[in-house]
Structure 1
Amino acid sequence: MTSPHTIAVLGMGRMGNAIATRLAAKGWDVVGWTRSGRTSGAVRMTGDPQEAVATAGLVLLALFDGPACRQVLEDVHGSLRADTMVLNTSTIAPAEASELARQIGESYVHAPVLGSVPAASAGTLKILAAAATVPTVQDAVFEPLRAYSRGHATGDPAHFRAAFLPTAHIEGIRDGAFISWPLDEYCALFQGRPAPDEPTRSRRIDTIDVHGTVATATMTLSHGSDTFTDIFLLVRVDDGWRIANKAYHRHS
């Protein structure tokens, strides 16, 4: 019999480990698995994902991307109990979430989170949950903002290029002077690796307002001693939502 008190966390990277640790601290029976073989001092681990899900009432995915989610779910699908829920917190495209929902059925819940590792550790993550539905326009508008967050988290400018239109500018006041970076100049600021203090940084989406084919959004970034308010103008183009421009304020 599946125990509703057992949670299998598949993907024990920084976010997955933080979520698993928080759940264990709150008294849940948590078993973790990761493709890398990474261990965790906070929860029991297994090297077999099918074993991890076999007795779980809830399977929580915290994986890198859509293909990783698809592969892992294909591997464990035969071991899932009929009453087991699959909660996917991974950042994936709406089309990928829809395909996983069709494959898994009504037990699949798409649940992207707003927040980073510190929020997971503190239990303050915001969860956007949807099940048995095709993601709406409002869901899709989150995608470039998540790509933007991944750019900061990894230092990989490819994520910014996926988030912004090629014509985008990033604007604000820097050292008392107005700056307006074209996308290429902005991407050149990132060296392809996370900041040394990345584990302590956090980012959250505060507001999104959609008006047909345009939207505005606000994010708060806490980067070390600096806090930034980012304001985005987004447009819906043929291949989905993209950021047309960003303006920011650095709080002193």
Structure 2
Amino acid sequence: MTDSTTAHDGVRAAVEAYVSAVCAGDPQAVREAFRPEAYMWGYLGRELVSAPIGAFCQAVAADSGERAWTRTYAYDIRSIEVSGEVAVAVLDERGYQGEDFTDHFSLVREDGQWRIASKTFFRTAGPAE
């Protein structure tokens, strides 16, 4: 296996860890998928949101109840591009908490481990938006 294949697989595993964590409603696992200083930006409809990743972890914790949305949730990792010790990945989500999202992740490999450094997202506009 080449280093580029290994790196690509490592990035995919990091994104899959993120997906598993949010589906499980596990804020600690979400936190572990990200670098400690990670930040997120994005749009919920027309509203621009920006916050440290800890705020997202709190939102995951608040949604750790019945989680009925996970029954119809689906996702695709649309792309992964690796450049040395950094990478970008695009994740398309359908039905995340009842909404569709596109997430753009920047990742960094440190000590052999890929972790998400930032998340930029867009929620697909609903009928009223």
TM-score by length of 1: 0.44
- The equivalences for 1:32-111 within 5 A come to none
Q: Is the 8 A contact 1:144 1:162 kept in 2?
A: no
1:173 equivalent to 2:46? Answer no
The answer to whether the Cα contact below 8 Å between 2:75 and 2:93 also exists between their aligned partners in 1 is: yes
- Deviation above 4 Å: which 4+ runs of structure 1? none
Q: 1:204 to 1:194 in 2, by over 3 A?
A: farther
Answering whether residue 91 of structure 2 is matched by residue 219 of structure 1, we say yes
Q: Give yes or no for contact 1:227–1:251 (8 Å, CA) kept in 2.
A: yes
Larger Rg, first or second structure (1 or 2): 1
Cα distance change, pair 194–183 in 1 and its aligned pair in 2 (3 A): farther
User: Does the CA-based 8 Å contact 1:154-1:193 persist in structure 2?
Assistant: no
1:57-86 CA distance string (max 9 Å, x none): xxxxxxxxxxxxxxxxxxxxxxxxxxxxxx
Q: Compare the two structures and name the one with the higher strand fraction.
A: 2
Q: Distance in 1 between matches of 2:112 and 2:51?
A: 24
Contact 1:218/1:230 (<8 A) preserved: yes
Structure 1, 235-244 or 218-227: larger mean CA deviation: 218-227
Q: Which has the higher contact order (CA 8 A, sep 6+)?
A: 2
Q: How far apart in 2 are the matches of 1:161 and 1:220?
A: 20
- Residue 64 of structure 1 corresponds to none
Q: Structure 2 CA distance, aligned partners of 1:145 and 1:151?
A: 10
Aligned partner of 2:73 in structure 1 is: 201
Matching residue within 155, 158, 163 for 2:28: 158
> Which residue of structure 2 lines up, in the alignment, with residue 95 of structure 1?
none
The answer for the alignment partner of 1:229 in structure 2 is 102
Three-state SS of the structure 1 residue aligned to 2:67 is: coil
Aligned position for 1:145? 15
Residue segments in structure 1 that go unaligned for 5+ positions in a row: 1-132
State the one-letter code of the partner of 1:178.
Answer: L
Cα shift at 1:242: 0.7
CA drift of 1:137 comes to 1.8
> What is the Cα-based RMSD across aligned positions, in Å?
1.9
Which letter does structure 2 place at the counterpart of 1:204? D
1:195-252: CA deviation from partner (whole Å, max 9, x where unpaired): 2121111112110000111111101001165211000111111251111001001111
Is the contact made by 1:163 and 1:243 (CA closer than 8 Å) also made in structure 2? yes
**Structure 2 gap ranges (5+):** none
Corresponding residue of 1:249: 122
Identity, % of aligned pairs?
Answer: 32
How many equivalent pairs are there?
Answer: 120
Give the CA deviation at 1:176: 2.6
